[in-house]
Amino acid sequence: MLNIPASTKIFVCTQSVDMRLSFDGLAGLVHTYFSMNALSGHLFVFFSKKRDRMKILAWDVDGFVLYYKRLEKGTFSWIDKLQLLPGSEILSADFALVLAGINPHEGKRSKRYHLVPPLVPV
- From the centroid of its chain, how far is CA 78? 13
pTM of this structure? 0.79
In a domain, 106, yes or no: no
The structural domain count of the chain equals: 1
pLDDT digits (tens, 9 = 90+) for 68-92: 999 888 888 777 776 777 777 888 8
Pairing of strands 53-59, 43-47: antiparallel
Question: What are the tens digits of pLDDT across the range 5-24?
Answer: 778 899 998 889 999 999 99
In a domain, 43, yes or no: yes
DSSP-derived pairing of the beta strands 53-59 and 64-70: antiparallel
73 falls within a domain? yes
Residue 14 lies in a domain: yes
Best CA proximity match to 82, nearest among 111, 54, 103, 107: 103
> Is residue 92 in some structural domain?
yes
121 part of a folded domain: no
**Does a structural domain hold residue 34?**
yes
Any domain includes 108: no
CB 14 within 8 A of CB 80: yes
